[in-house]
Structure 1
Amino acid sequence: MKLRSLYRREPNPVLPTFVEAGEHQVPLTFRENARAKRLILRIAPDGGAVVTVPPRTSGKTLTDFVDRHRGWIAERAGGRRTPLLIENGAIIPVRGERVRLSCLGGRRVPRLDAEAGELSIGGLPEHFPRRVADYLKKEARTDLTAAVARHAETVGLQPKALTLKDTVSRWGSCTMDRRLSFSWRIVMAPPRVLDYLAAHEVAHFVEMNHSPAFWAVCRSLCPDMDEGRAWLKANGASLHRIRF
């Protein structure tokens, strides 16, 4: 954020960089947005607090805003600070089901035993987190490719590309020339949530906006889209707590 443009009237503003939340300190970030009309506060997936700031907002306005919302930040962000590390015996969700990770060593092909709730991964222990992530990325590509193909056939338009990323700001995106990008972590969510995300981005093939017309297309592709949206809003941040 260009602080100079935000604080023209205050040459030396002192802004908070964190908020106390029990034993934790919640990082605080200010981001200027030229289209913003008011201050907007949210908790990012990594547990930090982010304030979206309209242009020419004074430093005093920002500090007063944070002071009024310290309790809210502490309450909402305090429980999101502990990451879940990928290690032998850790439990993570895969397609919405709890799965225990097992490091077997050797040159073993990753194997998911859904009935036993266990994902077995070979290789050296120091490579275990990366190999778990590689497995999830492969499964995410398989599931997303199938879901996108199904919805693309319905609208009669095909994607130009499909890429996977590990973003925290958005779960998916679509460009004007129908290039899709998804967070591979979506494979840890229930299949209906992944299906909604794929439908959402394919709907942009028809409507490159979030107008009522767009949501009508999205709902036609995924009638249960409200359930998928609600799940991501309530549980999406928990998937970003997992550290690979």
Structure 2
Amino acid sequence: MIPGPEFVFEDIAYRLVRSSRRKRLGLVLVGEGVEVRIPQRCAARYGHEFLQENIQWVRAQLLVADRRAAQVPKYQYAVGEYFPWLGLKLPLQRVANSQSAGISDDTIRLYSRYREPDEVQLQSALERLYQREALTLLTKKSQLLAEQMGLRIASVGVRRTKSKWGHCSIRAELQFNWLICLAPEPVVDYLVTHEVCHLQHHNHSRAFWLLVQRVCPQFKELRRWLRDNGHRLTL
């Protein structure tokens, strides 16, 4: 995609973004502005007209984005602060060695190689701890469920992504956004179920959703929770 110069219609800043793969015009919120995505050979005026015709929709979406941004929690990265893990708020403690670091039912035990770490260093160490603990937890849950269903997993990995909570490749490789482990455990279990079921159905067909429901009967409620609250899951 090739971003163009910035334009303003009324009080809305936007850019025209051309793509050789795009066949239709579309609108995407990016930060505090908007991208009008158009096919490579589409005349620019159609992009401007498309934005103007949908300006009320854009305003409504920007309001929703503003409300969601206001709901994102802010943390002090310091000993004694409480951070979420599996839907619980746990206090942060520092430990003297890396072997003692971990997350239990009542405490986050964090090791930092710095004698007096600042907030940035503590945040970085905390994110590494969360990634490690999330990988352990999600691997255990995924492997256990796959075995119960008679399915095989090639690998499990975690990373921080902007839009996806999970992914299952055709090579049976599962990938999770480690921030999911901030959610209540039933939501985590739903996501694991969703991705493991993709080992059998690499689509979102009716058969796939029936399998998800058989394994996780409350999946609709849990899926709705993730859709409505996923933006709050951050460190």
What range describes the TM-score normalised by the shorter chain of this pair? 0.7 to 0.9
SS of structure 2 residue aligned to 1:84: coil
Does the aligned pair in 1 maintain the 2:75–2:81 contact within 8 Å?
yes
Structure 1 residue 121 corresponds to structure 2 residue 110:
yes
State how far apart, in whole Å, the 2-side matches of 1:185 and 1:48 are. 23
Q: What's the CA shift string for 1:48-69, capped at 9, x where partnerless?
A: 6665846355433433444413
What letter matches 1:212 in structure 2? R
Cα drift, residue 210 of structure 1: 0.7
Structure 2 counterparts to residues 99-110 of structure 1, below 5 A = 99-102=90-93, 104=94, 106-107=96-97, 109-110=100-101
Q: What's the CA shift string for 1:140-192, capped at 9, x where partnerless?
A: 12221222123212331110011111111211111111011111111111111
Distance 1:210 1:85, change over 3 A: same
Gaps of 5+ in 2: none
Q: What's the CA shift string for 1:57-87, capped at 9, x where partnerless?
A: 5433433444413421331122317773551
Structure 1 residue 220 corresponds to structure 2 residue 234:
no
Does the aligned pair in 1 maintain the 2:18–2:37 contact within 8 Å?
yes
Deviates more, 1:65-74 or 1:144-153: 65-74
Q: Structure 2 residue aligned with 1:39, among 26, 40, 54? A: 26
Does the aligned pair in 1 maintain the 2:6–2:14 contact within 8 Å?
no
Structure 2 counterparts to residues 86-105 of structure 1, below 5 A = 87-88=77-78, 89-102=80-93, 104=94
Q: Structure 2 residue aligned with 1:84, among 74, 84, 95? A: 74
Does the aligned pair in 2 maintain the 1:204–1:214 contact within 8 Å?
yes
User: Which residue of the partner structure matches residue 234 of structure 1?
Assistant: 228
Structure 2 counterparts to residues 57-206 of structure 1, below 5 A = 57-67=42-52, 68=55, 69-79=57-67, 80=69, 84-85=74-75, 87-88=77-78, 89-102=80-93, 104=94, 106-107=96-97, 109-110=100-101, 112=103, 114-115=105-106, 118-123=107-112, 124=114, 125-126=117-118, 127-206=121-200
Distance 1:229 1:50, change over 3 A: farther
CA-based RMSD: 3.4
Q: What's the CA shift string for 1:111-150, capped at 9, x where partnerless?
A: 54645xx534242324311221122122212221222123
Larger relative contact order (C-alpha < 8 A, sep ≥ 6)?
A: 1
State how far apart, in whole Å, the 1-side matches of 2:141 and 2:18 are. 34
Does the aligned pair in 2 maintain the 1:173–1:201 contact within 8 Å?
yes
Does the aligned pair in 2 maintain the 1:38–1:53 contact within 8 Å?
yes
State how far apart, in whole Å, the 1-side matches of 2:163 and 2:173 are. 18
Does the aligned pair in 2 maintain the 1:36–1:53 contact within 8 Å?
no
Identical pairs, percent: 27
User: Which residue of the partner structure matches residue 10 of structure 1?
Assistant: none
